[in-house]
Structure 1
Amino acid sequence: MSKIKYLKGNWIVKKTIDKNTSIKGRCFIKNISKHYYELKEDVKTKINNQLILGHQLFKIFELGNDLIFYYSTDQLKNNLLYKFDRKKNCRSFFFCKKDLYIANFKIISNNFFTIYTKIKGPKKNLNIFAKYYRTI
């Protein structure tokens, strides 16, 4: 059963990367067609007390047991971000060049969901914990 349709609407997003880097902002999820959604984030990234404004846009498709996220902006447009397998507890594994991305998508309730991403590679070792809280 599809649960992503229940996530349509406005959200507050808080992402933690490390003690010196955090991301906060707003997120909006809308339904484009039956199995196609769009997720837009307008965020402020704080790195060592410096603020950087930004936005991200993702396409989300439901195909069979998969929930697939694609980038929808800039040079990464249409590149895969996540492919969550709902039969495997919504986990995603993929390689981007020499980097391994391991992610977990969890819907806690209609008002809260999380995405945890671990990125490991020759020059990367990041953990991103994103929390999404519904707003009115």
Structure 2
Amino acid sequence: MSGVKIYISDKNSSRTSANSAAIITSRIDEKARIDEKRALCDNCVNVINAKEAMASNPLRPKVIELYKTLLYLGKEYPMGADYFRTKLKGAFMKNKDVSDPKEIEMLIERGNYVVKELEALYMLRKYRTLKKRYYDKKEPS
């Protein structure tokens, strides 16, 4: 407590001791506030360190890109976009704790396979629609 000021005066000794008690109390309160701010900053640092740890994973952008691609392709899913989105989120959340890079790569490859299958499904649907539109008309005999 180097910031504590104590005043000694002969005339107003009771008043001076009251002032010094108030000054001591305010310094203690100030120190408590500083300790609280430090604790809060430590929590902020922990959150930042967690974000840096997540960002340091080189496969994270690939996973996010895969998720966005699947979300985009899910807009035209035959059972509906909401159904697809819930299933997609469930699949990604099921594997959120995987930390082995080889296993993450394997899961990314599986996701890319699903992307190709969805694209094939949509192309087949378009082909069938075009075929019905132009070639399935029965000619009059």
- Relative to the length of structure 1, the TM-score reads 0.23
Higher relative contact order (CA 8 A, sep 6+): 1
Normalized per residue, the structure richer in strand is 1
Task: Name the structure with the higher helix share.
Answer: 2
TM-score (norm. length: structure 2):
0.23
User: Which of 1 and 2 has greater Rg?
Assistant: 2
